[in-house]
Amino acid sequence: MSNDILFLAEFAGGKPARSALELAAGAAELASQAGGSAVALAYGSGAADGAASLGAQGAARVIILGDDDRPAISLAATVVAAVRDADALAVLAPATPNGRDLAAALVGMLHVPAFGPVRAARVTDGVLETEQATLQGSVITTARPSDGAPTPSVALVLSGTFTPIEGGSGSAEVEHAPDAGESAFDRATVAESHEAEAKVVNLEEATVIVAGGRGVGGEEGFGPLRDLAAALGGAVGASRAAADAGWIPYQLQIGQTGKVVKPSLYIGAGISGAIQHRVGMQSAEHVIAINRDPDAPIGEFADLFVVGDLFQIVPALTDEIRRRKGAEGA
């Protein structure tokens, strides 16, 4: 077995996704702890063109799995063959829809240990050790493979767990994964795609999320939240109450039965902060809550708790951010 750390690197239009930059930095950090190298498994449109750029982000080598916008699951046989071949210590996968598909394929087909969604990782005593929230987020557990477990360990990593390397230099060696032969997965194609599906990816990769709950009162109540998210360059999310009411697609629901997110900033407006919602966003670096009830549970774990009507506060906040941005640009 090598001490290399593999990571799944998603590309679109020749550029690595934010998750790829974060995992490159994470894999480089873990590889230096293990005494190996960070190796990218790249896929998505333009992956071959953009692959070498991952060298500046910490990757020593990039293996191209696919170079078009086919669904990632169609690459399952290729990724399994490449991972088997690399005989690495661990594989890091982003907690995105494509990352989840490929991680599940790896674990299911290679019968290797799976961890996630992971919010911290390190190499200790030559094995991958991870931290994850369990029991509805009330406990953070540290997990590692049992003695003699097969390698590699596969970890599904939440966005924001690692920070991309700024101003790095270097170029990675690029190679193409060998042809894995025909498999049933090859037949997966994109039948239809919608704007909303793109937003799902944004939610999991977003560094800023503005989430709305029952308190927004209806579909149109998300308008001011969308404006605030746009002013901050972030994405819109929701509680289950808002999704159940049909005000926003389920793909944008955060929580136990929705997405687990880890943005730098989470702003929750008209959300009470039920435990089932909290488990999906409690790893956010900073939490701001806007609620007219001073006793709302979200106030107990928010860094900043603004008590008031969201329909006054959110637009005022948006105006102020726009004003400051305008002043910066002037």
Binding residues for ligand FAD, rule: CB under 6 A, are 213-215, 239-242, 253-258, 270-272, 274, 276-277, 280, 290-293, 296, 309-311
* CA nearest neighbour of 88 among 4, 175, 178: 4
**Shortest spacing between CB 118 and ligand FAD, in angstroms:** 19
Integer Cα distance of 82 and 152 in angstroms: 12
What residues are paired with 190 via a beta bridge? none
Longest dimension (CA), the chain: 62
SS3 content of the chain, % helix, strand, coil (to 5): 40, 25, 35
Residue 106 CB partners (closer than 8 Å, separation 6+): 79, 80, 83, 91, 93, 112, 154
Cβ distance to ligand FAD smaller for residue 58 or 237 = 237
Cβ distance to ligand FAD smaller for residue 16 or 268 = 268
Cβ distance to ligand FAD smaller for residue 32 or 256 = 256
**Shortest spacing between CB 255 and ligand FAD, in angstroms:** 2
Cβ distance to ligand FAD smaller for residue 31 or 243 = 243
Cβ distance to ligand FAD smaller for residue 174 or 310 = 310
Coil vs helix vs strand at 133: strand
Cβ distance to ligand FAD smaller for residue 52 or 245 = 245
What residues are paired with 63 via a beta bridge? 41, 175
Give the pair of three-digit tokens for residue 317. 């906040």
**Shortest spacing between CB 228 and ligand FAD, in angstroms:** 14
**Shortest spacing between CB 195 and ligand FAD, in angstroms:** 22
Residue 152: cis peptide before it, omega within 30 degrees of 0: yes
* CA nearest neighbour of 294 among 317, 272, 316, 267: 272
**Shortest spacing between CB 176 and ligand FAD, in angstroms:** 40
Buried residues in 223-236 as b, exposed as e (16+ CB within 10 A): ebbebbbebbebbb
Cβ distance to ligand FAD smaller for residue 33 or 291 = 291
**Shortest spacing between CB 224 and ligand FAD, in angstroms:** 11
Cβ distance to ligand FAD smaller for residue 113 or 234 = 234
**Shortest spacing between CB 251 and ligand FAD, in angstroms:** 12
Residue 257 CB partners (closer than 8 Å, separation 6+): 240, 276
Cβ distance to ligand FAD smaller for residue 53 or 239 = 239
**Shortest spacing between CB 158 and ligand FAD, in angstroms:** 15
* CA nearest neighbour of 121 among 33, 41, 57: 33
Residue 249: cis peptide before it, omega within 30 degrees of 0: no
**Shortest spacing between CB 29 and ligand FAD, in angstroms:** 31
Give the pair of three-digit tokens for residue 245. 């009411």
Q: Distance of alpha carbon 297 from its chain centroid, rounded?
A: 26
CA–CA–CA angle 68, 23, 135 (5° rounding): 115
